[in-house]
Structure 1
């Protein structure tokens, strides 16, 4: 194990430069994916309907979604006569004369009526209709994966609309687009699937848009309940114990916070505000440790500043099965499964009560971990700002970034010290 010493913190960036070679990835053997489509014309990323409006045209991508490649988007260029555009996931050899979602083991969000079709030609009300210029996104929540099932979510213009649990065949689920009237045209962006899991390995995302290493706040920013939260999929360990955030755009208020939090941290609470978390807040330079009241800690941070957070583990620290295998933290049996059925995030009324209960549970969790304490430290532009002792909750402490005002953007490096 590598145990960081206080005198080493100022050389973090030097170590980062020495490890840039880690960025070079094997991008595959170069063989083209076997995508399939019918009654559609494909020109680069653009698909346009070429049928007679009585027959469905369908496109199926060559690769399925996976834990590392879990999301794609479709922008509506033209709704044509009826706007009967569908975006979703299907089996590998799905029939190309049917809209995604109509046949078993497929699911899709339909733009013309806002309905969700889940293996059935009869849809159910799900979200708003979509028009020209709108972006429809589709992905999988791999943390909610069970044997033979996974949770599929849909978004409109970067904001999650809802999710549904669906069955999955062994071959996986493939991105698909369907069209059914003259003039319909879309642009498919599969590049969001091709993410580096070391740079964009997020387990939970709420009101945050991800593009490579960039996180962008897309929430309302009207009240303290409109927190945008991004939590990494893997906790910090003795081998991967530090991460950094660069402020690309401070937005309106620079309500940006970075820190560590328990795995089930409430989605509408800034890091540091609730039990089982600690965070350095850029707007006022304060540290928040399980409380909505912060303490003076360091200078404020602005555009261009790099904020860092890490853990100094004691020599006698006993990790929670660290290094036993490469299993994704979010796939372990103790991760609570998602709710069955459809969830419409835009219209839920009971989540605040659930999150309050989670907060109370977190207090008990932290109090029960007195025997496993670590020292959390924060940096600003490579220099140590301070540290805080903290109990480690079951499952560990996860890198967590919060944002709360319009226009905020940060660039995250989850593994600056990895070799």
Structure 2
């Protein structure tokens, strides 16, 4: 049956087969067996097709190189999944069990090295993430979860740097807050890019990220119903506004003790675990208040979850895991409940609660005829400015002296 089929092909393709025989010099002895002859012809044709495919692949390869050299590569398009994009507004459209992610069409560069995202609505959980990712990042993962990506997550203030396990980085972000992300510097030789993040225009911190050949693209992730954010890919970070902060000395020398508190210029930020009542962040000044410097102030930059911020005066050897005012030899005003604690864990109603943006002050009203025998460490029983920080506060420089007739 096979022999008959092969023989039936013979008269139809004789001219084509003759051309193949002449071109490729198939041995004429194979013509005596139609099956062997056809096998040889098919093998030759397949080899020629492979050559044609290789030739086309080579031409395509040369074309891509030429387009890249001439800058004719088609511009990348923005990518997003489980999100609704209306102008510069992104809205989550998933079922809260799935991640939605947006990736901008162009990477950050020297000309455009910063972008911002404003939280319009935190939705059910406020799981909005802002950061940088490679061009073809998986859209079912939050930025920062996969390698070569980094992101600041609003829900917990953690930084995710190519790992699904984040590290405490900055304050939480809520409705109305602006989260910014930019590039400080790039080191192509080492393959490292330094990325920084801001909250409401103030730098939170920076991290080093492995760079990619195509650059890092702005990305926004969402993970719960009702989340809405506005993306500004043309935002500019006015460094001049923060230079005053950067130019201020770290002031670490002004602090005698810092426990789970980071001093950055005039900012104090809690960096502890915050899991129990013992996880206290304590900052105590090196020098006590005197007749020449008898007052200090603290501005609440971020109230955190419950605004557990307290400031007052305490002895030099005050326990590091106790709020000022709770133990003997201390007195403090607590922002969360407005109570005054004076050497006891039970406070008395004293003043109003303090929130974000409020300025709390503390001082000593020395009698007019008061004379110090010594100052600093030689001052017996000196009380040092002491505060507990659970978020970020700013130490006011050169605060105005309060009215001597007004109790502070």
**In which range does the TM-score fall when normalised by the shorter chain?**
0.3 to 0.5
Higher relative contact order (CA 8 A, sep 6+): 1
Larger fraction in strand = 1
Larger fraction in helix = 2
